[in-house]
């Protein structure tokens, strides 16, 4: 039998091989440095995050764990307004990531998070429908079709607020009563964006409005997506901040720094979030 | 010796209820909060749906209770256990189960959908969710009530020429009435408080599916005053109902049967 490795050494110039080896050595020493600086990071970090961040943050946490093996990251994913309320009622947490600025500002006003917050990603809205399209939707404006069963998040939920803003702005093109006509079709006001996804995925509703990032590979086979025209689509902005009184300040800051770092932003982008350029 | 645990337990049960009222009373504008659509619509919807589900439960649950009380047949053990299932099931499981049954792609739902009926997101869904979780409370009480009625009295009625239905309505039901009434009020109170199955199966829309417990859940994050007032109502209304029925039964001096 021929040894494939030996075959390779023949085809690759020796100089390149050495360079490659040096590279590997260099990266391993970098990793070593990170691991060393990471060594004091242990214990449990509790992150309260908007439910739309579920998949991206779970992946992010796995990545962070390879850097800080001693760190355990615990998530509480819910509607941002639920998380803000929980924080106000004294729920212990270290980091709060909200799906809109309003909920972050409310949390800052009540003093449960630190005043310094950072926008770390953006998101866009999209209309979703069950795969077999029972409401026969062809475009965004079809949301006003009488009798359509539409599910939105409630007006206090960030995505519900963004959805209503999109409907309001569309009035310029589709007529002043477009928003009212669409809201006439509302059959349920859900508590967070994942519940909107579920109701459409189960085909209970004919349509819903969610974030682009909610169209995960897991639900993609069950749904159709219809774009919302750029002119009305909303850019959701996600701020992140340290929770006031965190006992894991270093780890919490490391989490926030990693989300905002280039690899963190690249990972968020791979989950269909829009990275934020500094 | 007994005093300490009794006081602790009593305090543990009463204090949380008291806390709601103590939090509301010093606040101004209770009346305006009470008149908010969020509150009035939820109150109205809750009363209508909980009474409807009580009606449905009484209609279909009474025969089940009678059968369990009077007949012995193969499979009665299964029926007997089935009746207790909703009580031990988490409401979320009830919600998923109802969706898989009456949802648009559900067992019966897909068939209903072809004839143009959709149950999820309607007030009917609220009533079904409430009936599902509250029926056992009525059936168990009614079963005990029927068992306490002497079968000999029914046989006497037959010999006097009463039909089985007439016997049931004129002899059995009046004798078991205290039990039916107290079971009914328990089931109604449970229906009034139904939350998990409703929010999963019926959705949440003011005036159509947003009952009081759902409105409290929503208001906790936007309007604490409304959440407190609705919570207070959900303490007062069932307490009033239970108290009234118990007082009524005591007056008839038949509370021992209930």
How far does the CA of residue A157 sit from the closest CA of chain B (Å)? Answer: 9
CB contact under 8 A, B221 and A186: no
CA B54 to chain CA centroid, nearest Å: 6
pLDDT of the residue at B222: 83
Average pLDDT taken over every residue of chain B: 92
Residue window 192-221, chain B: list those with CB within 8 Å of chain A: 199, 203-206, 208-209, 217-218, 220-221
pLDDT for residue B237: 93
CB-CB neighbors (< 8 A) of A79 in chain B? 221
List of chain B residues whose C-beta atoms are within 8 Å of the C-beta of residue A151:
203
Residue A151: what are its φ and ψ, rounded to 5°? -120, 130
A190 in contact with B, Cβ within 8 Å? yes
Task: Report yes or no: A24 at the B interface, CB cutoff 8 Å.
Answer: no
- The answer to whether the Cβ–Cβ distance between A154 and B218 falls below 8 Å is yes
User: B145-163, pLDDT tens digit by residue?
Assistant: 999 999 899 999 999 999 9
- Residue B55, pLDDT above cutoff 70: yes
Alpha carbon of A132 to those of A117, A204, A228: distances in Å?
42, 12, 20
Q: How many CB pairs under 8 A join A and B?
A: 52
> In the prediction, which pLDDT does A256 show?
96
ipTM value: 0.82
Provide the chain B residues 31-90 that lie in CB contact (below 8 A) with chain A: none
What DSSP state is assigned to residue B257?
G
Cα dihedral A207/A211/A213/A216 (nearest 10): -20
What pLDDT sits at residue A34? 45
| Interchain proximity B204–A190, CB inside 8 Å | yes
pLDDT for B253: 59
Say if residue B231's pLDDT is above 90: yes
pLDDT confidence of B1, banded at 50, 70, 90?
confident
B127 neighbors B53 (Cβ within 8 angstroms): yes
How far apart, in Å, do the first and last CA atoms of chain B sit?
32
Q: Which of A188, A203, A205 sits opposite B204 (nearest CB)?
A: A188
Which of B203, B213, B222, B227 should we substitute to test contact with A (largest number of A Cβ atoms within 10 Å)?
B203
pLDDT at A254: 94
Q: What is the pLDDT along chain A (278 residues), one digit of tens a residue?
A: 444 444 444 444 555 545 544 444 444 444 434 444 445 678 899 999 999 999 999 999 999 999 999 999 999 999 999 999 999 989 999 999 999 999 999 999 999 999 999 999 999 999 999 999 999 999 999 999 999 999 999 999 999 999 999 999 999 899 999 999 999 999 999 999 999 999 999 999 999 999 999 999 999 999 999 999 999 999 999 999 999 999 999 999 999 999 999 999 999 999 999 999 75
Say if the Cβ atoms of A156 and B205 lie within 8 Å: no
Q: Is the pLDDT of residue B136 over 60?
A: yes
CA dist., res. A41 & res. A101, Å (int): 29
Ordered DSSP codes for chain A: ---HHHHHHHHS-HHHHHHHHHHHHHHHHHHHHHHHHHTT--EEEEEEEEGGGHHHHHHHHHHHHHH-TTEEEEEEEE-HHHHHHHHHTT---SEEE-SSHHHHHHHHHTTSEEEEEEEEEEEEEEEEEETT-TT---SGGGGGSTT--EEEE-TTSHHHHHHHHHHHHHHHHH-TTHHHHHHHTEEEEESSHHHHHHHHHTTSSSEEEEEGGG--TTTGGGEEEEEPPTTT--EEEEEEEEETT-S-HHHHHHHHHHHHSHHHHHHHHHTTPEE---
The per-residue pLDDT for range B183-212, each reduced to its tens digit, is 999 999 999 999 999 999 999 999 999 999
| Angstroms from A115 CA to nearest CA on chain B | 21
Whether A203 and A132 have beta carbons less than 8 Å apart is answered as yes
Cα A145 → chain centroid: 30
Closest among B176, B92, B87 to B137, alpha carbons compared: B87
Pairwise CB contact (< 8 Å): B217 & A202: no
Do residues B92 and B18 make contact, with C-beta atoms less than 8 angstroms apart?
no
pLDDT, tens digit, 9 for 90 and up, residues A37-67: 445 678 899 999 999 999 999 999 999 999 9
Which among B120, B205, B208 has CB closest to A204? Answer: B120
Does the distance separating the beta carbons of B204 and A189 come in below 8 Å?
A: yes
Q: Which residues of B touch A196 (CB under 8 A)?
A: none
Whether residues A82 and B99 touch (CB distance < 8 A) is answered with no
Q: What are phi and psi of A137, to 5 degrees?
A: -80, 135
The answer to whether residues A186 and A152 touch, using CB atoms and an 8 Å cutoff, is: yes
Cross-chain Cβ contact A149/B199 below 8 Å: no
Contact criterion met (CB < 8 Å) for B103 and A202:
yes
CA-to-CA distance for A64 and A15, rounded, in angstroms? 35
B130 shares contact with chain A (CB less than 8 Å) = no
Model confidence pLDDT, tens digit, residues B17-44: 999 999 998 888 888 999 999 999 999 9
Looking at residue B53, its pLDDT comes to 98
- CA of A87: which chain B residue's CA is closest? B221
B contacts of A205 (beta carbons < 8 Å): 121
Distance CA B33, CA A252 (A): 40
Surface of B (97-116) touching A: CB under 8 A: 99, 103-105
Q: What is the pLDDT of residues B79-134, one digit of tens each?
A: 999 999 999 999 999 999 999 999 988 999 999 989 989 999 999 999 999 999 99
Q: pLDDT-derived band of residue B63, with 50, 70 and 90 as boundaries?
A: very high
Q: Does A85 touch chain B (CB under 8 A)?
A: yes
Given an 8 Å threshold on Cβ–Cβ distance, is B204 in contact with A154? yes
CB A98 within 8 A of CB A86: no
Facing residue for A202 by CB, picked from B105, B205, B221: B105
């Amino acid at each position: 039998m021929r040894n494939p490795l030996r075959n390779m050494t023949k085809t690759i110039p020796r100089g390149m091989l050495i360079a490659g080896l040096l590279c590997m050595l260099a990266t391993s020493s970098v990793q070593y440095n990170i691991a060393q600086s990471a060594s004091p990071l242990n214990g449990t970090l509790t992150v309260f995050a908007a439910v739309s961040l579920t998949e991206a943050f779970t992946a992010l946490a796995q990545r962070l764990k390879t850097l800080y093996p001693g760190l355990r990251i615990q998530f509480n994913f819910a509607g941002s307004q639920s998380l803000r309320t929980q924080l106000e009622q004294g729920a212990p947490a270290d980091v709060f990531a909200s799906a809109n600025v309003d909920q972050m500002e409310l949390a800052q006003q009540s003093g449960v998070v630190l005043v310094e917050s950072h926008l770390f990603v953006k998101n866009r809205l999209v209309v979703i429908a069950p795969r077999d399209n029972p409401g026969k939707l062809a475009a965004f404006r079809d949301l006003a079709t009488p009798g359509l069963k539409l599910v939105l998040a409630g007006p206090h939920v960030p995505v519900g607020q963004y959805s209503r803003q999109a409907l309001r702005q569309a009035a310029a093109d589709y007529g002043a009563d477009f928003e009212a006509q669409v809201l006439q079709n509302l059959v349920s006001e859900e508590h967070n964006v994942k519940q909107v996804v579920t109701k459409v995925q189960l085909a209970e509703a004919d349509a819903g409005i969610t974030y682009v990032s909610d169209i995960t590979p897991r639900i993609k086979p069950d749904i159709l997506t219809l774009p919302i025209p750029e002119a009305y689509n909303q850019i959701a902005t996600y701020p992140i901040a340290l929770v006031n009184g965190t006992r894991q300040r270093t780890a919490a800051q490391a989490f926030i720094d990693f989300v905002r770092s280039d690899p963190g932003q690249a990972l968020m982008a791979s989950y269909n979030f829009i990275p934020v350029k500094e | 010796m007994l005093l300490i645990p009794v006081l602790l337990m009593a305090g543990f049960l009463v204090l949380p209820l008291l806390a709601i009222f103590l939090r509301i009373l010093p606040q101004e504008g209770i009346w305006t909060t009470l008149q908010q659509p969020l509150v009035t619509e939820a109150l109205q919807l809750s009363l209508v749906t909980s009474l409807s589900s009580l009606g449905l439960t009484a209609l279909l649950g009474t025969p089940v209770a009678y059968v369990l009380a009077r007949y012995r047949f193969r499979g009665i053990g299964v029926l007997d256990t089935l009746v207790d299932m909703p009580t031990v099931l988490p409401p979320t499981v009830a919600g998923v189960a109802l969706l898989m049954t009456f949802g648009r792609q559900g067992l019966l739902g897909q068939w209903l959908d072809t004839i143009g009926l959709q149950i999820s997101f309607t007030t009917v869904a609220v009533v079904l969710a409430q009936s599902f979780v509250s029926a056992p409370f009525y059936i168990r009480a009614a079963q005990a009530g029927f068992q306490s009625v002497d079968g000999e009295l029914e046989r006497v009625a037959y010999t006097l020429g009463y039909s089985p239905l007439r016997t049931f309505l004129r002899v059995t039901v009046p004798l078991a009435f205290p039990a039916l009434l107290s079971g009914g009020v328990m089931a109604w109170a449970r229906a009034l408080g139904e939350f998990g199955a409703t929010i999963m199966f019926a959705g949440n829309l003011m005036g159509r599916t947003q009952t009081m417990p759902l409105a409290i859940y929503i208001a906790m994050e936007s309007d604490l005053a409304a959440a407190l007032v609705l919570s207070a109502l959900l303490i007062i209304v069932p307490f009033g109902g239970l108290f009234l029925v118990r007082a009524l039964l005591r007056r008839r001096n038949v509370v021992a049967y209930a």
